[in-house]
Every structure is written in C-alpha cells, then in structure tokens.
C-alpha cells in the first residue's frame, strides 16, 4: 500500500506478511454514509432486526462528547448491540475515537463477525475510508470492505445542487466515495425522477453499484461483503473491453463533463491497452505523480485544484491482471485473484482501465497525460 506525500523523505517500514494478512480471519468493516435524513438509521434498523445469520456490530457516530465514547466503547457485549459514538461531525475528530473504540471492540472478537460504521449525515467518508484502509496495519483484525452511500430519491438532486457554487458539497463527496449506492425512498418518486437521479449519480461516480430501496429494505449483500478494496467492480470491468477508444470520448463522457460543472466532482475513465512490464512500472510512477503530488505529467495545464477521492482500475500486463485500488493519496496495485486472470485470458480481453473520481478532474487531460507518459 502506498502512502503519504512525504514519501521521498521517509523510508517506509517494511511490514512482514503474517496470518493477519489473511482476509478470511479478519472482520470486515463497511462505512455507511448518506446525507441528513437519507435513511441510514432506517437501513441500520432493518439490518439489526432482519434475520440474516450475521452478527453485526453497528457503530453510530452521533454528535456528543468523547467521554461517552469511551464508556460505551467498552460496553459492547451482545452479538448485535448498538454502539453509539457521540462525537463531532468531522472525520478528523472521529479519527482517534473511532479507531480506539473499534480496537476495544475487537477484544470481543468472536461475538460479532462484521462491523458497520454509520457516519453522520455531513461526514466526508473518504477520510474515514482512508483511515480504515491504512489502519489495516494497526488494527490488523479488521479490513475495510466498502463504502455504502444511502441517498434520498426525492431530495438528492436538490441536495447535490443546493450548494453547487461551493462545489463538491458533502452529498456529492459521499456519492463519490461509495462502492455501493442505495437509492432510498423509492416510494416517493416517479420513474422519470428516478432516471434523473440515476443519471446524476452516474455522472459523479460511474463505478458504484446502484440499488433501489424503500425504507431501507434490501438484500444484505448490497451492503456487506462487497470486497470493494480487493476486487474490481463489475462497473470498472464492464467497459474495459471496448466502447472506449483512447482518442474518442463517447456520449457518456461528455455527459459527465457537463455535470462536473454542476457537482464539482466527477469520474474520469482512461482506457489502457495491454501493458509491458516496463510500462507497468511507468504507470506506477504516473500514479505517484498524480496521487501524491497532484501533478499530471506531460500536460501543461495546471492541476492545482485537483482533488482525488478514489481511484480504481484493472491493468493487464502481458496477460497478468492487476487491480488498482486507491483512496485519496493512498493506492495499491496488486495481482488479481487467479480466476479473474483466467477469465481475462479466456475471453482474450487484455484491455484495462483506470478510473479516477475527484474534484476538477478532466478526462481529456488525464487521457492525454497517461497515454503520453506511457508512450502508447
């Protein structure tokens, strides 16, 4: 896993592989986000009351004082006990409390097999995602499974738009960080309104899976065990075989460009051919430049206002498939599970794709930068 921007001044510690790296022995954690009133608590109560065979510890982050957090954190007992973290609404202020509370909770390991962390309606979940991803090193018993965002079908367009002059408000950021988006309150909107909501979500985050619910009633598999940081989502994979010629942007792209101006945040997709081993090393350098230094190589336009929240991708290197996963400036490139490489080989599809979700990201510039840097 790659890390901080001061990478060139600090020698990273090498972490030895151990049993804790074995995902099957660790407890997955889902971050549940969504704007005020979207239906997060309704969804949680559905999860906590539905019989599904999972023992889920839910952490609710509410406003309050931190003394209370400590008291409640050590009181986690029964298999589905609600743990409320009364804290501020900023990610940074829940950082320590969140990790400390979960570390304490892990002493009860065995009483639960899954953790769902509900954020406040105004939280930017990318900071939390980064923290938990990084904390795999410090709380090795936990791994980040994915970020799920609940949106209010009736009000989301207004919520996305209301603050657009400030660009990239909380609601936009929550959708941008999600691996799975739950469009809730389906009962309150028409089919055509729903289509508009889907379009807006797709413009912000083209890679998240989208599900529809009323009163948070859903199949638990839409929320837990997404394995989002260890695999390539269908959405990233699906376009990797075609549709995108490297010099040709399709209609979807121009659509997302126009919405960038509306929402501040959008997804860009850069298709890749099969790479040589050398080009793979060059891609790694490009990622460091973009994610660690906010600099797009080989293009003259300033990328100073660029802010990357999420990166994903699939890369084929002489027949071997690699997965890119990233949150903010952290990223990881690793070989895909064997079955995925086999599928790729069988289908003779060797193209890949890099997807970047963020603020002020321009698809034409990203494409130009990466293709020139790779010499393709």
Ligand X SMILES: Nc1nc2c(ncn2[C@@H]2O[C@H](COP(=O)(O)OP(=O)(O)OP(=O)(O)O)[C@@H](O)[C@H]2O)c(=O)[nH]1
The least distance separating ligand X from the CB of residue 166, rounded to whole angstroms, comes to: 20
Closest to ligand X by CB, 47 vs 101, is: 47
Positive or negative torsion for Cα 94, 13, 289, 322: negative
Segment contacting ligand X by CB under 6 A, of 38-46, 135-143, 227-235, 236-244: 38-46
State which of positions 6-35 bind ligand X (CB under 6 A).
34
Angle, helices 170-177 vs 125-134, to 10°: value is 40
Residue from 26, 27, 39, 147 binding ligand X (CB under 6 A) = 39
Residue in the block written with tokens 């996963």 = 325
> Is the distance from CB of 365 to CB of 303 less than 8 angstroms?
yes
Closest to ligand X by CB, 40 vs 72, is: 40
Closest to ligand X by CB, 122 vs 364, is: 122
Q: How far is CA 174 from CA 119, 138, 265, 332, in A?
A: 10, 25, 11, 22
The least distance separating ligand X from the CB of residue 258, rounded to whole angstroms, comes to: 29
Closest to ligand X by CB, 184 vs 367, is: 184
Residue in the block written with tokens 């379009």 = 199
Collapsing DSSP to helix, strand or coil, 322 comes out as strand
Our finding on whether 341 is near ligand X (CB under 6 A) is no
Nearest of 108, 146, 143 to residue 28 by alpha carbon:
143
Closest to ligand X by CB, 36 vs 195, is: 36
Residue from 196, 210, 215, 289 binding ligand X (CB under 6 A) = 215
Closest to ligand X by CB, 7 vs 215, is: 215
Closest to ligand X by CB, 39 vs 264, is: 39
Residue in the block written with tokens 């890949």 = 352
State which of positions 188-207 bind ligand X (CB under 6 A).
188
Collapsing DSSP to helix, strand or coil, 62 comes out as strand
Cα 74 to its chain centre, rounded Å, is: 29
Residue from 42, 205, 266, 311 binding ligand X (CB under 6 A) = 42
> Is the distance from CB of 299 to CB of 365 less than 8 angstroms?
yes
Our finding on whether 280 is near ligand X (CB under 6 A) is no
Nearest of 310, 282, 281 to residue 297 by alpha carbon:
282
Burial of 149 (0-12, 13-18, 19+ CB in 10 A): buried
Structure tokens at 267: 């997804």
Residue from 20, 214, 241, 371 binding ligand X (CB under 6 A) = 214
Our finding on whether 41 is near ligand X (CB under 6 A) is yes
Residue from 4, 78, 96, 187 binding ligand X (CB under 6 A) = 187
8-state DSSP, 163: T
Our finding on whether 121 is near ligand X (CB under 6 A) is yes
> Is the distance from CB of 147 to CB of 176 less than 8 angstroms?
no
The least distance separating ligand X from the CB of residue 148, rounded to whole angstroms, comes to: 12
Closest to ligand X by CB, 15 vs 217, is: 217
Closest residue to ligand X, based on beta-carbon distance: 121
Give me the residues that bind ligand X (CB under 6 A), please. 34, 36-42, 121, 184-185, 187-188, 214-216
């Amino acid at each position: 896993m790659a890390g901080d921007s001061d990478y060139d001044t600090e020698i990273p510690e090498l972490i030895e592989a151990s049993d804790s790296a074995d995902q099957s022995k660790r407890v997955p954690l889902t971050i549940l986000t969504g704007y005020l009133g979207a239906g997060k608590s309704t969804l949680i109560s559905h999860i906590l009351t539905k019989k599904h065979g999972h023992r889920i510890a839910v952490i609710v982050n509410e406003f309050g004082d931190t003394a209370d957090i400590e008291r409640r954190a050590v009181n986690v007992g029964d298999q589905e006990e609600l743990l409320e973290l009364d804290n501020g609404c900023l990610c940074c202020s829940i950082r320590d409390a969140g990790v400390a509370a979960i570390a304490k909770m892990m002493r009860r390991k065995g009483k639960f097999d899954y953790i769902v962390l509900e954020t406040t309606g105004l939280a930017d979940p990318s900071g939390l995602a980064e923290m938990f991803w990084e904390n795999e090193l410090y709380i090795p018993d936990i791994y980040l499974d994915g970020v799920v965002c609940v949106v209010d079908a009736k009000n989301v367009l207004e919520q996305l738009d209301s603050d657009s002059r400030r660009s990239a408000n909380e609601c936009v950021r929550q959708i941008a960080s999600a691996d799975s988006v739950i469009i809730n309150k389906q009962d309150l909107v028409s089919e055509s309104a729903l289509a508009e909501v889907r379009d807006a979500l797709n413009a912000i985050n083209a890679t998240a899976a989208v599900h529809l619910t009323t009163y948070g009633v859903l199949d638990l598999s839409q929320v837990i065990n997404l394995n989002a940081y260890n695999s390539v989502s269908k959405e990233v994979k699906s376009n990797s075989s075609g549709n995108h010629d490297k010099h040709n942007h399709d209609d979807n792209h121009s659509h997302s460009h126009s919405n960038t101006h509306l929402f501040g945040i959008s997804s860009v997709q850069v298709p890749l051919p099969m790479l040589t081993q050398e080009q793979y090393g060059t891609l790694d350098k490009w990622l460091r430049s973009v994610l660690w230094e906010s600099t797009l190589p080989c293009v003259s336009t300033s990328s100073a206002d660029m802010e990357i929240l999420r990166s994903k991708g699939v890369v084929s290197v002489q027949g071997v498939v690699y997965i890119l996963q990233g949150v903010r400036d952290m990223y990881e490139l690793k070989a895909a599970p064997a079955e995925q490489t086999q599928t790729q080989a069988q289908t003779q599809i060797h193209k890949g794709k890099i997807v970047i979700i963020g603020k002020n990201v321009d698809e034409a510039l990203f494409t130009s930068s990466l293709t020139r840097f790779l010499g393709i």
